[in-house]
Copies of this chain bind each other. A is one copy, B any other.
């Protein structure tokens, strides 16, 4: 009872990513094999993935892993098991590529039930290994047909894309005229073999943290008013969402502005878009949009716009202090805003602008903030 798929046109069956992935997987297996047949205890060497080991790549203008390395060796039981799992995963991924399948990270965790000793004991272990494969091969998870549970973000605006559907059809979709008011949903794979950007007359992308604010801007017609593409981040944005924004920036030359709450967690949402996230620093040049500008609520906005606030919690204060030692926030703007937030001991949500009425955000706040950075006549 397997599904009859339309056969993809010859030569397009596997994306470039998949062909490259199989090659890289063979390479890894080959290295382990070579070490074993040389009588060595096998090991894999990979960069340390910590805040201490991210450095600014001036060419790509994003934060990436530095030179610090760690080794995973079969000398210890834990390391040996991880190498064994790596071998099972290589086979699993190869099978999926051969069968044009993909799997969630959660499914891979359950699949390992059949791997005997190599079975994962938690999903953290399997997620970590999937990321390791990216770091080692310089490919991305999508090339390995692994995907997260995260549901995609929504897009509204005059942007026409072409999506290759599960049946292999090329479908042209305008993200304003062909979809419902809830928007076009970004699929989990947004690489070029899946999504092409065809045309847009928008001048910039506005990435928005909360659903309430996204719906407000949609209802107020801000995409048409300001001639922009609205992207709902749904909190901490998924990789697909960050990649989508990066590609819009790179290929359609659209500047990006990030409109989030005014609290340390939302600063990190901005950082993951503009600077690259620490967990995915090995693929920052795929995911980050270095020129993205922050138009979210700042500590200064809390004071200037007299916004309704909540007091910082101890967790908020800890997160702000951590940001003061985060190299990604080491500039004058961020130091000032983080320190001011700590001093006033207050945070505010983007929806707090509703204090002045439902239209204030589109009539006053965004024109002012976007005007400052030249994206709107203020």
Contacts and interface: CB of A to CB of B under 8 A. Distances in A.
A3 interface: yes
Contacts of A102: 219
Nearest to A5: B221
A266 interface: no
Contact of A106 (B180, B182, B351, B357): B351
Interface stretch (A10-18, A134-142, A145-153, A332-340): A145-153
A311 B103 CA distance: 25
A40 to B, nearest CB: 35
B149 A210 contact: yes
Interface in A139-184: 147, 149-152, 154, 163, 165-166, 171, 173, 178-184
A224 interface: yes
Interface in A349-378: 349, 351-355, 357-359, 362-363, 367
Given A113-B308, A215-B104, A359 B181 contact: no
A47 interface: no
A20 interface: no
Interface stretch (A75-83, A185-193, A200-208): A185-193
Interface string A1-36: 111010000000000000000000000000000000
A180 B185 contact: yes
B363 A1 contact: yes
Nearest to A218: B166
B173 A180 contact: yes
B181 A166 contact: yes
A328 to B, nearest CB: 28
B182 A351 contact: no
B154 A215 contact: no
Nearest to A183: B185
A104 B351 contact: yes
A178 B181 contact: no
A184 to B, nearest CB: 7
A318 interface: no
A71 interface: no
Given A181-B187, A185-B185, A221-B166, A216 B354 contact: no
Nearest to A367: B1
A111 interface: yes
Interface in A282-309: 308
B173 A179 contact: yes
A265 interface: no
B182 A185 contact: yes
A101 interface: yes
A43 interface: no
B180 A212 contact: no
A181 B171 CA distance: 10
B149 A225 contact: no
* Most chain B CB inside 10 Å of its own CB: which residue of A113, A173, A234, A358: A358
Interface in A100-126: 101-104, 106-108, 110-111, 113-114
A196 to B, nearest CB: 12
9 contacts: A103-B354, A107-B354, A108-B354, A111-B358, A149-B210, A151-B154, A163-B180, A166-B219, A180-B187
